[in-house]
Structure 1
Amino acid sequence: MNQLQKLLNEMGIVRQNSPGLFTLTPLGVRSLEKLVKIVDDELKYVGCQKLQLPILTAGNLWKTTGRWESTGSELLTIKDRHARDYVLSPTHEEAITDFVASLPQLTHKQLPLKLYQITSKFRDEIKPRFGLLRGREFTMKDLYTFDKTVEAAHETYDLICTAYNRIFQRLNVPFVKVVGSTGNIGGLSSHEYHFPSSIGEDDLKICSACNSGSNAEIATTDVCSKCGSPVKQTKGIEVAHTFLLGTKYSQILNALFSAEDGSRSVCQMGCYGIGISRILAASVEVLGTDSEIRWPKLIAPYSVCVVAPKGGSKEESAIQLAHFLANQIDQIQPFMQDVILDDRMTTTVGKKLMEAKRVGYPYIIVVGKKSSQPVPLVELHDLNQNTQNVYTVAELFDYLKQTVKN
């Protein structure tokens, strides 16, 4: 595990149970749920509906599609008491296609279907590493679409890609979209979304002129296929992947619909993944330092941390001010239910501040030596702007409200 992933563990965001398996603490769950909310919002905006499939998928479905054998040793499988095979699903193409095939009287009027879930997935990594970046159990958003024609499937694919662009733009972490391999999932074409990072496991070739690119494993030249300009090579952490599947799964698993002429036709499919837990770790890798976590502002565990004085210190009388600030800021949008108060009585202000910076709360308000004056002053550490300033209470509220407007 590298330094930043160790820091997630040290600061109580995650705890490693065993190689590749992690517990998300309440702080980690808050970040995860904030990210899920962003994904939910953008997918629902383009007409996607949320469901939840069983984590266990019948082994016979994977055998029917051929992936029981082709996936190899990374596929985690079990047998029940009746000796029936099941897959601890790393993805759910077989399960969702079987579900759609079971729908009674599916017609062209009901298409496209855009169905997604956010659940645990499993992969028997031979050597789990980099913390949440490559674990044996992980949280993934997987979306599956069903269309009536190839043309309609392309339109849906483009629509979902625009939603993906908005998700990553809202996170405000540098990202690139590149052409990728269809790999074991298969299909007609695919794209990958990466956070450029030196610890990334993928080599990418990006055009220096038009910014289009591809995974180096499928790139054949050092010249952009779109504009002919030179390409540069960089490394990236894959955080999302989209596939135009065609009829690879729907044909063999009989996901059919009634066409306008009354005939039975095969659904055209797409599948789209986002590594939810991986984004938590990857964003920290891109934004953080060796000693301090930095989050995309929208998914920090808490937006504001108020640091209260130590009990028994000269500033103890200002503890009440710290409680007042936390309560008042908690009533300002978008900070409602997003303020944490560090009121540990036996810990110094200095240590609390250091720990708050290491956790990476975007706004840290320190109620310290200057807070017991007739006109109390507080320190505001804005980690996004990398600034530290002293304000009166009124000036502090003005700063936070102005930040919201911007």
Structure 2
Amino acid sequence: MEPTVNRVWPRVFQRLYRTSALPRRTHSGCAERADVPASAKPALLVSRLYQPSNLRDAGPDSRLQGELTCKSQRLMQQAGLIHPSNPGCYYYLPTIVRSMEKLVRVIDQEMQGIGGQKLDMPSLCSAHLWKTSERWDLMGKELFRLKDRHGAEYCLGPTHEEAVTTLVAHQATLSYRQLPLLLYQITRKFRDEQKPRFGLLRGREFYMKDMYSFDADEEAARRTYASVCRAYAALFARLGLRCVQVQADTGNIGGKLSHEFQLPADVGEDRLLVCGRCSFAANVETVSSGGTDCPRCGAAALAESKGIEVGHTFFLGEKYSRVFGAAFSNAQNKPAVAQMGCYGLGVTRILAAAVEVLSTEDGIRWPGLLAPYQVCVLPPKKGSKADDAAASAEELVRALGEAGPNLRGEVVLDDRTHLTIGKRLKDAGSLGYPYVVVVGRAALEDTPRFEVICQGTSETMFLSKDALLDLLGRVETV
């Protein structure tokens, strides 16, 4: 018997469904999949993607919905990428999870490229560790605090200096030959923001990459610090984001040296001072000259701008390692205290900040590597004069599946052919597919052509199938 869904799908999508290699079911009901070539796998259909743009308000508490106070929050909620839960907390819906997973892969590549090793630490942190470092009181109301049934105190970790240093301290056999040691994780963090706002830019629950380095001496630790800063610069360059590295205050993390990585934006909450003549840049909190002359070159006035902090690095020295006893055996086989650094990247904040600075007022624009899907193919409206070109849409989707591994899982087909091309183009623009391919009457010509819209540049081209496959086959993915 034909699947029920076939009664409502247009004929072209019925063919896609029938010819897709579906998994055979075992007696247990589990799918038994053979090796299926990319071209034979089911097309990703827009009608099947869970990206609701019509979610109702989060409930009677109006604080949950919140004011749409910035462009990224408005666009992401309207497009069904995020939905408010508790104040400062969000549901991350499937489309943005794809983007976040891609960002995590880019971060992994850069961090592991400088020797980082990934681990995962508990979010539930003992109050004893935080009291030992004297940050239990210093952090004040920003800590989410709780007690277990035995009365023991804990906090939900906003950062993990205490935890990772204790972990390293428990290794009695750490040798100088194992240094530098760079340990990092990408996890949920928690901070009890008094006034959460700007969507994912300032929340109470968020994803962060935090790395911690252990070195044999201060000179080596400063080299590690510099290498992480270079990796951050390379990361943002790959994403096409113009980040500025600025001198910053060490705050409640502490240490001897600190830098922020700021993405210039009008909605930014940080005030930056940048010299137009030399490379000096700093958070206004660290400049004592009153913001008039550059403290480095002295020859130019400092220009003030706003920025979104997307990364922060700290040279800690022995602040935590001495307190928790994180030591190693040096070349003389004697115990020595490790020199530390810590380095954060706001994962969900980078996503929101990128949307904030790259997008138009009407549609999301992603860094190319982070787009949830690279290509959206729009077949003609059912019953229109171009309806006969629907078969060309089917053939194009199959050809794109064979164009190379970089497009595998990156092409979606907008099968909502009851809607006009114009309506689907508007939806595609709001979601930010880097490339939208319209299959229209030009696909029926003797030499078929396809309309290709490059969202990042607003450029429209009419390309042959071969030229289109060549263009999209060179798209970089991660």
Fold equivalence (TM over 0.5): yes
Quick check: 1:57–1:95 contact (8 Å CA) kept in 2?
yes
Maintained 8 Å contact 1:342/1:352: yes
> How far apart, CA to CA, are the structure 2 residues paired with 1:356 and 1:292?
8
Q: Larger deviation: 112-121 or 97-106?
A: 97-106
Q: Does 1:351 align with 2:423?
A: yes
Unmatched 5+ stretches in structure 1: none
Give, as a single letter, the amino acid of the residue that structure 2 aligns with 1:287: L
Pairing 1:224–2:291 present: no
Asked if 1:257 corresponds to 2:328, the answer is yes
1:343-363, Cα deviation, whole Å (9 max, x unpaired): 123222111111101111111
What's the TM-score, normalizing by structure 2?
0.82
Question: For 1:2-49, what per-residue CA distance to the aligned partner results, in whole angstroms no more than 9, with x for missing partners?
Answer: 233111111122122132111111110110011111110011111110
Q: Structure 1 residues 53, 289: closer, same or farther in 2, change over 3 A?
A: same
Give the Cα–Cα distance (whole angstroms) in 2 for the partners of residues 210 and 76 of structure 1: 42
Per-residue displacement from partner, 1:110-146 (whole Å, max 9, x unpaired)?
A: 1111000000000111111000001111000000000
* TM-superposed deviation, 1:402: 5.9
- The offset of 1:200, in angstroms, is 0.3
Contact 2:179 2:216 survives alignment (8 Å): yes
Alpha-carbon distance, 1:316 to partner: 2.8
CA RMSD of aligned residues (A): 1.6
Whether the aligned pair in 1 keeps the contact of 2:428 and 2:436 (CA below 8 Å) is: yes
2:233–2:243 CA contact under 8 A, matched in 1:
no
Whether 1:25 aligns to 2:93 is: yes
Corresponding residue number in structure 1 for 2:78: 10
Aligned to 1:163: 231
Q: Is 58-67 or 320-329 further displaced after alignment? A: 320-329
1:189 equivalenced with 2:257 (yes/no): yes
Cα distance in 1 between the residues matched to 2:163 and 2:105? 25
Q: 1:273 aligns with which of 344, 349, 354?
A: 344
Q: Separation in 2 of the partners of 1:355 and 1:174? A: 28
Aligned residue number for residue 242 of structure 1: 313
**1:394 matched residue in structure 2:** 466
Tell me if 1:57 matches 2:125. Answer: yes
- Cα distance in 2 for residues equivalent to 1:52 and 1:375: 55
Partner-residue secondary structure (3-state), 1:27: helix
Normalising to structure 1: TM-score of the pair? 0.96
Q: Is 1:385 paired with 2:460?
A: no
Q: Aligned partners of 2:279 and 2:421: how far apart in 1? A: 47
Q: Distance in 2 between matches of 1:75 and 1:3?
A: 29
Q: Shift of the alpha carbon at 1:396?
A: 1.9
Task: Tell me if the contact between 2:407 and 2:473 (Cα under 8 Å) persists in the aligned partners.
Answer: no
Alignment deviations for residues 55-90 of structure 1 (CA, whole Å, 9 cap, x no partner): 111111001111110001111111111111111000
Alpha-carbon distance between aligned partners in 2 of 1:93 and 1:389, rounded to the nearest angstrom: 52
Equivalent residue letter for 2:402: Q
Structure 1: how far apart are the matches of 2:347 and 2:335? 37
The separation in 2 between residues aligned to 1:362 and 1:330, in whole angstroms, is 17
Matched AA of 1:36: V
Match of 1:304 in 2: 375
Query: Quick check: 2:369–2:476 contact (8 Å CA) kept in 1?
Result: no
In 2, Cα distance between equivalents of 1:138 and 1:260 = 41
Query: Does 275-284 or 330-339 show the bigger shift?
Result: 330-339
Pairwise CA distance, 1:400: 3.0
Secondary structure of 1:318 counterpart? helix
Shift of 1:100: 0.4
8 Å CA contact 2:71–2:356 kept in 1: the answer is: no
Instruction: Write out aligned runs for 1:194-209 (5 A).
Output: 194-209=262-277
User: What's the offset of the Cα at 1:312?
Assistant: 3.5
Contact kept, 8 Å, 1:108 with 1:260, in 2: the verdict is yes
Give, in whole Å, the separation in 2 of the partners of 1:217 and 1:60: 32
The separation in 1 between residues aligned to 2:164 and 2:474, in whole angstroms, is: 46
Q: Matched residue of 2:167: which SS?
A: helix
Q: 1:262-318 CA deviation, whole Å, 9 max, x = no partner?
A: 322111100000001000000011111111111111101111111122333333332
5+ long unaligned stretches in structure 2: 1-67
The answer to whether 1:152 aligns with 2:182 is: no
Matched, 1:212 2:284: no
Aligned to 1:126: 194
Quote the Cα distance in structure 1 between the aligned partners of 2:471 and 2:400: 11
Between 260-269 and 39-48, report the one with greater CA deviation: 260-269
For residues 336 and 69 of structure 1, what CA distance do their matches in structure 2 show? 51
| Letter matched to residue 284 of structure 1 | V
1:41 matched to which residue of 2?
A: 109
Alpha-carbon distance between aligned partners in 2 of 1:118 and 1:402, rounded to the nearest angstrom: 30
Give the total of aligned pairs: 405
Asked which structure has the greater CA Rg, the reply is: 2
Structure 1 residue identity aligned to 2:373:
Y
> Where does residue 411 of structure 2 map in the other structure?
339
Q: In structure 2, what residue type is equivalent to 1:384?
A: G
Are residues 1:314 and 2:385 paired?
yes
Amino acid aligned to 1:215: N
Q: Distance in 2 between matches of 1:261 and 1:352?
A: 70
Sort the Cα spacing of 1:301 and 1:404 in 2 relative to 1 into closer, same or farther, 3 A.
closer
* Separation in structure 2 between the aligned mates of residue 116 and residue 258 of structure 1, nearest angstrom: 23
CA contact (8 A) 2:376 2:412 kept: yes
Distance in 1 (alpha carbons) for counterparts of 2:152 and 2:382: 61
- Alpha-carbon distance in 2 for matches of 1:383, 1:279: 20
Counterpart of 1:282 in structure 2 is 353
Letter in 2 for 1:101: A
Whether the 8 Å contact between 1:177 and 1:212 is mirrored in structure 2 is no
| Letter of the structure 2 residue corresponding to residue 396 of structure 1 | L
| 3-state SS of paired residue (1:344) | coil
